[in-house]
Structure 1
């Protein structure tokens, strides 16, 4: 059954006689079409624009006036917007926002017969709504644009590639050796100690693969020594694990990555160390040591606080006046040191960022994020800072700390639930259920709910993922290469930064985070899906060639249970994206959306016919279609 949303999206008509989409409503987002580029300063006055379609018979045709509503010093204020231009299809209004707070919120009031409507980040409402989803201007600079220019490619070093040098290294005493073709354990003893021996030289030897794919940024999970294959239990931050090749191998990889025009990101556990970390060992052994107040101590066993009660991961205490200088503050800290020569990292992904600095009645998370950001700005002003946060991160993302977050809530989870089969047996991201199958309305409403509570400067840089080293593999979630293409098209056309987990591009599978950490099947043609690689390669190339897909706003056009369509727009380009998980009813879009002479197909096989009445979308599916229409 088709579904509809109450604002600028509508359900489809019949496949033989598609009806025109007339429910387009007023629209605004933070992109350059509506808000001037650049970062405003306190006291600036920023002109913001709103688009009001004038479609015959549609409610937008009856909008009599538009007003801007802000809340300054706790009190709502209205100012009337000015009509800037109009034609037979739409009117444009402009209003001025005084940037009176570091994050200044605003929404639009629409005067319509019989009442009024509000336009905020979630859409148009004919009732009063809370302020949480109001649009936001922020004085905090966004992440540099390079982060989203190509795809971010996540590498789990133990499982990506093993160089010949690895054969000469002794197996550590904590490890359970595995052959490269062995299947990873999915649970039980040994999941953290199963050891394949991938190393940094192995990654460097396969950079051709990443470059062919169109990778812009290489992101490695931790490279510090530990007693596990994941290395989130660091024993020191002073050097790179010799099992990976040590400091020189990391520096060499950095040089090779940068020589190819790519960037390199590290992964840091600011929340905890390993129980074998040199800081913790000194603190545990000597109550008078300088490191003693760097951790939390308790009267019961094991005598200290561990991450999620794991004794192997003692939690860092940022109430200490001296921890900051070693960990996060200044060029000599752990954060600062690896941004400089010889490693020259381009930024950090922060593990369990949502828990860093939070314990009982203490909450220093935002302070810590700002301090890390200050260090990074001092050492490398062009670096990026990304948080890990699996649920609602809106209170941590004002833009002055973390640049962006791993976007499980607004992208991964809703996309999975739209593309999962009815009979999925794959667990759903920490919940005691398998992955449910839901309609397009559920996916889009979830995306809008989470996107709308952030500044556009953050939303447009969020790390969108279809999986990671902590989740099942996409292929296991959706079940087929056909559905992988639908998911990958969403990933490469949605606002934000597309992030891939190494191996998704060749069809690797895995039913949970541990099982998904599959070694790359180099030289194993029977396990290498070349067609899926070509899908990703073409989509990445398409995105890199389109400014609208990299920088444009987002305007939803229609939502059906089995298909959705949206526009990505800049001032010089308009791209239409249609993705379908199954055959559907088809639809007719308004003819005026086409501002060029003819649509230019960029990717996919779904049908689009231009008629005098409109743009007719065929009810094909499953499949995708991406067109430049202006």
Structure 2
């Protein structure tokens, strides 16, 4: 008699509606096709995150005996539901069970039949608390990520501002970054090039010409290192970069050019060489390491003696702060003189939170509430978190994170899209896999968060994108256009537009090659940024990915008659568009209809090239 023929697609509204993440309290309508004789029962097996699973019987359709449906009501607090289907059928007089769940690749959409319950990978339904859109200036913008020491020295004659003790400054700007480490592996001499806030001010017009509207600065507060993630004083600008007056000038001049500034908030840990910890005594006799009666002592967790304490990733130079301490929360966000209030009231556009997984949801929510108090008409603030994985279902320290469900983060850094771009262009991932991976993210994330994610091809923590692509300018061109057209806000890591290469830290933090830029790559960034900024579809449009053989493409649209189609050929072969081979992951007609209207069938796309066409306004 054989197995029943079962089909479900979590991306098709014929089987699940509404599509994707929904607001808690709304109903979800499930439909599954089960063809076969002697079907005894069909159940939706549901588990709300952290709770026991339970089975809900599905009702057979009166007009179609192979269709079973269910209206499911979401309830309680926001969070995740996980689900699969359980079908019981009769075979040779015995009841048998079979399950329908996510496909083997663990993406959403079409699933697979399984006889073994232990092999089931459950579908995810994200339920958020409330709609939480980021401000328009952010969603419609283009971000430029500046590692301040490596960008530009704006002082006359390139004089280094306030060089630090026990450090070295490179002889030329072309020198490659290099760490001097001691026997224990710790960095014993920090290296500097001398970039500063004056340098950013001096280059604002060039950034404006590139098309940048948002400056995301690596930490600018006082610290011993060149990267400043070892904060020494949250209330002082590092003297090598400038001072508060100079920072206010930067904010003012950037705003005149239509630019907002995002600050990097490093609140999980501080520097061992800081006013708060003061391991080396450079801040007098105070600090938690030197003085148990210090007001900062309770911020840290010591073990037996002051030389053994909690630190981030066991790096002694980065003592971890106890974020549950009320005095620390008040210092960061809970008082009028807090760090968030002090700098936000100067006019910054928002913050990016370093290692957001290390901060509790309550801590992030507290920052957001204070940040929202600075919102004015047309001047909303934005809060972005550093998360490397799919943030919709992230678990950190055995706790499910809820920071995208409303009232916390607007979005996160979109490292999954970086992986997608690199894997597709290095032929480690097929076009179909790229379509399924990207669509899974769209389905898992609340719509507002999906559009607010900070998309990046590289950061100070990763190898340079040009290096990852083997220095191939054709591949680089495709990567640039993917960055500018995928959903989310594109973030350009300083120097990528100049063709800077670099391996792992510190090589990925080379000085910007002023006057030696790769003009071809720079021009591609400039044109693609302008294209994104003039087409609302590329800023706020919905996202429908598809594949055609080795071609990867997607639609971005605000209305059915106003859309943009982008098709990439990530291969070394001339490829002809064959719309009959289009795999529409939703199994709906919109993609095929749009491609037909564009009359692009049988057009050819050169190796490592792409096609971008608009239809509508």
Q: TM-score, normalised by structure 2?
A: 0.76
Is the contact made by 2:190 and 2:225 (CA closer than 8 Å) also made in structure 1? yes
Q: Does 1:580 align with 2:587?
A: no
Instruction: Note the alpha carbon deviations across 1:126-149, whole angstroms, 9 max, x for none.
Output: 548655522544415132232221
1:175 to partner: Cα distance: 2.2
Query: What SS does structure 1 have at the residue aligned with 2:455?
Result: strand
The Cα shift of 1:177 comes to 0.7
Query: CA–CA distance in 1 between the matches of 2:108 and 2:336?
Result: 41
Shift of the 164–267 alpha-carbon distance from structure 1 to 2, 3 Å rule, reads: same
Q: Deviations over 1:360-409 (max 9, x none)?
A: xxxxx21211111111112337211111223453333433422222121x
Matched-pair contact (CA < 8 Å) for 2:128–2:405: no
Once the 2 structures are TM-superposed, how far is the Cα of residue 49 of structure 1 from its aligned partner?
Answer: 12
Equivalent in 480, 483, 498 of residue 475 of structure 2: 483
Equivalence map 1:419-430=2 (5 Å):
419-420=425-426
- The answer to whether the 8 Å contact 2:78/2:129 transfers is yes
How far the C-alpha of 1:267 sits from its partner, in A, is 0.6
Aligned pair in 2 of structure 1 residues 106, 420: CA closer, same or farther (>3 Å)?
closer
Of 535, 538, 541 in structure 2, the residue corresponding to residue 546 of structure 1 is 535
User: Is it true that 1:384 corresponds to 2:382 in the alignment?
Assistant: yes
Partner of 1:558: 547
Kept in 1, the 8 Å contact 2:385–2:411? The answer is: yes
Q: Which of 391, 404, 409 does residue 402 from structure 1 map onto?
A: 409
Larger relative contact order (C-alpha < 8 A, sep ≥ 6)? 1
Q: CA RMSD in A?
A: 4.2
Paired residues for 1:162-201 under 5 Å: 162-165=153-156, 167=159, 169-185=161-177, 188-189=180-181, 193-201=190-198
Residues 269-327 of structure 1: CA deviation (Å, up to 9, x unaligned): 10111112112232122212221111111126722222111111111012323111112
> How many residues are aligned here?
542
Instruction: Confirm whether residue 622 of structure 1 aligns to residue 612 of structure 2.
Output: no
C-alpha contact 1:176 1:195 (8 A) present in aligned 2: yes
Kindly indicate whether the alpha-carbon contact (under 8 Å) linking 2:499 and 2:518 is maintained by their aligned counterparts in 1: yes
Counterparts in 2 of 1:48 and 1:376: CA distance versus 1, 3 Å: farther
Counterpart pick for 2:289 among 280, 284, 295: 284
Alpha-carbon displacement from aligned partner over 1:411-434 (angstroms, at most 9, x marks no partner):
11232222238xxxxxxxxxxxxx
Q: What are structure 1's unaligned runs of at least 5 residues?
A: 1-5, 9-22, 53-58, 60-66, 83-92, 357-364, 422-436, 601-608
Segments of 5+ residues of structure 2 without an aligned counterpart are 1-5, 36-42, 62-68, 88-97, 115-119, 182-186, 279-286, 395-400, 581-588
Q: Matched residues in 1 for 2:122 and 2:147: separation? A: 41
Residue 346 of structure 1 is matched in structure 2 by 349
How far apart, CA to CA, are the structure 2 residues paired with 1:79 and 1:257? 58
Partners of 1:224 and 1:241 within 8 A in 2: yes
CA deviations over 1:7-39 (Å, ceiling 9, x no partner): 99xxxxxxxxxxxxxx998359999x9699xx9
* Structural mapping, 1:417-566, within 5 Å: 417-420=423-426, 437-478=428-469, 479-522=471-514, 524=515, 527-558=516-547, 560=549, 562-566=550-554
Q: Deviations over 1:36-74 (max 9, x none)?
A: 9xx96x65x589999x9xxxxxx9xxxxxxx99987897
- Matching residue of 1:102: 78
Q: d(CA) in 2 for partners of 1:331 and 1:345? A: 17
The match for 1:375 is 370
Q: Which has the larger radius of gyration?
A: 2
The alpha carbon displacement at 1:568 in A equals 1.6
Q: Secondary structure at the match of 2:153?
A: coil
Structure 2 counterpart of 1:333: 338
1:411 aligns with 2:417: yes
1:87-114 CA-partner distances (Å, limit 9, x unpaired)? xxxxxx99897675434759999x9xxx
Q: Is the 8 A contact 2:196 2:242 kept in 1?
A: yes
**Distance (Å, rounded) in 1 between the aligned partners of 2:170 and 2:44:** 62
Give the alignment partner of residue 245 of structure 1, picking from 242, 256, 261. 242
CA distance in 2, matches of 1:518, 1:7: 52
CA distance in 2, matches of 1:28, 1:135: 19
Structure with a larger share of its residues in strand? 2
Deviation of 1:251 after TM superposition, in Å, equals 0.7
Do the aligned partners of residues 596 and 495 (structure 1) sit closer, same or farther apart at CA in structure 2, a change above 3 Å counting? closer
**Residue 224 of structure 1: aligned partner:** 221
